[in-house]
Structure 1
Amino acid sequence: MDAVVFDLDGVLVDSERAWDEVRRAVVAEHGGAWTDAATRAMQGMSTQEWARYLVDDLGANLTPDEVAKAVVDEMARRYADAPPVIDGAVDAVRAVAARQPVGIASSSPPVLIASFLSYAGLTKLVPVVVSSEEVAVGKPAPDVYLEAARRLDADPRRCAAVEDSTNGLRSAHAAGMTVIAVPNPHFPPDPDVLAATASAVLDDIATLPAALDKL
């Protein structure tokens, strides 16, 4: 592999439950109604996309911009003291970055990605960071991964992507990358999608460097 591109939420930061809690609270506070499908539907969406979803599909009585601000501000507050970094994630990024270029392709807004990188001391080691806010369409479309490869000056077909969710796996696979799955234990990916997209499935992000050696 010429480069490795990491997802953030669920791969490096145990934040999926926090996103869920915060969005649920905003919807409930502003007259909407949560559905069983909502959590998985929004995984991978850009900020603009999930904000519209909370308004149009779940009925939050705010504008999409107001919803986005309320949710992101609360997530930023939660990140202020210490983002919920997954055990072994920082060491895994450092180990991979010592051997090849690395990047992040995430649905999180830039402010939260930057907060994680600063807290983890990875800002200088991860030169390419792409939020789905910066591309036309969020995951499962391939745009965010293709942009990360472009900024890394790498052929997507020579890149590995590290993902945890159904939409993330689809996105990286659609970009032509070799997909390494670290399934989210709280919101596991669809088994059929996992089987169809992942070249390797890991139980622990700490084992990533060894897995890359086998590709």
Structure 2
Amino acid sequence: MTDRSARRDELGHALRALDDRVDAACRDAGRRRDDVHVVVVTKYFPRSDVDLLLELGVRDLGENKAQEAQAKLVDEGALPADVRVHFVGQLQSNKAALVAGFADVVHSVDRPKIVRALAKGAGEGHDLTALIQVDLDGEDPGRGGAAPGAVIELGDQVVESGLRLGGVMAVAPRGADPAEAFARLQDLSARLREAHPEAKIVSAGMSSDLEQAIAHGATHLRVGSAILGSRESHR
């Protein structure tokens, strides 16, 4: 068996195992499996892994770093038209135009400056969806996110900018109960939908806490290590 075949088998097995986890979590939560989507985060992994994931049916890819994503997902060859690229990392305003050029969904919109920069970068004819990243911690500014009280106003600004408002995103605080954090995000999502009914996406849950996220309304899971393995050897 070639290295490529072995890696394909490895990724296929991991995708099936993850699908079993998501199926079970949806059953436990009384939710439809079709309402939960997996974004495979390929940060630090090569384009060869991306191509194998595409062969295996993955159509939602996530990246954290603007320049890495541009190099891997654009410069190394165009992706199929039905693939959705999700930018899930913290975004600096000076990289927003770059990200707006290749991303379909940006999960980390947390301040008006980012809204304006993405709208300018997207320009006419590019349907870019923005998710408002919510800071559920308040003690770790390095992780980004808008204060919960600022979500509605920021959502208004996204709509006014011409971007598509998709919903909300959050990362569970370190050391906290993820179920409690995702319950708060679910409440904020409901409040945002009162003002903007189209904002239905709840991006929450990663490899370690996806069950809790599904139990509290997550529609999109950002999963990397459970599928691709440890990133440390790929840095």
Q: TM-score scaled to structure 2, two decimals?
A: 0.29
Larger RCO: 1 or 2 (CA < 8 Å, sep 6+): 1
Query: Is the radius of gyration larger for structure 1 or structure 2?
Result: 2
Q: TM-score scaled to structure 1, two decimals?
A: 0.31
